[in-house]
Structure 1
Amino acid sequence: MAARNEEASGNADAAISSVLPHLPNINYLKEHQRTTLKILEEIFLNIPPNMVVCVCRLVCHEWKEVADRQSFWREKCRRVGYSLGEIYKSPDNWRMFYFLLKKKRNLIENPRGEVETHGGKNYPQKTTLVPGNGSQC
């Protein structure tokens, strides 16, 4: 069955090439499009992620396709250095995973605020001056 489909596809390509000899080969066009999308993905990997989602994704169908690829966001996570060793299974949505891990800060490490550092040693703590407790107003 698959051989018939490939044969039919090959016959269609040959028919198109014979009718329109000035057009490039269909396989060449498909490969050219794949290469173009790979180059576009590499460019997107060097653009801030919020720009990819909010701007680049809206340009055209092909750009949206690249910006929505799971492989793109998986590579973005890898390049930033997110380790999958911290999780037990591969995420279903790599874009969501990327942005959630980007927000991972003190709330994950100190979720209930048990460590009361008040922003560190150099952060001035507020004191309320109340008349009559020995402080000067």
Structure 2
Amino acid sequence: MGWSSWSLESTNYPGVNPVGSASWLTEKHVLQQADVLAAKFTARLAELVLQSHNDVVTLLPARPAEWANGEARGLRCRGGLAVDLEWREGELVYAVLRRLSGDPADVVRVRHRGRETELRLRAGESTVLKGL
């Protein structure tokens, strides 16, 4: 019997079913893959309304024009922050920043449309930003 005629059917390996396909192609693993893709999609959507890179939290950095009105709640950022924000007619109405953890000595820089503000928050503190 040559290599070309050898088949997984003729072996008894764990994780291989009798028709020769690997068990990792089962429905369970397909669903897990779907969960991973859904999480990545959700993260990419969140990046449209909130980004935290290089110690700067940027509000509504890439909001699609079709999202003229909206809100997001509980988005997490670097530095142990959580952010709620709302926008109407494309303009930021308010943003609430909460420090969940992190060093209170760390300055939180928040940017929106070229304007920037700096603040310090201890764990458990929050602040509301309007008119940024």
TM-score, normalised on structure 2?
Answer: 0.33
- Whose relative contact order is higher, 1 or 2, with alpha carbons under 8 Å and at least 6 apart? 2
Structure whose residues are more often strand by fraction: 2
Structure whose residues are more often helix by fraction: 1
TM-score, normalised on structure 1?
Answer: 0.32
Larger Rg: 1
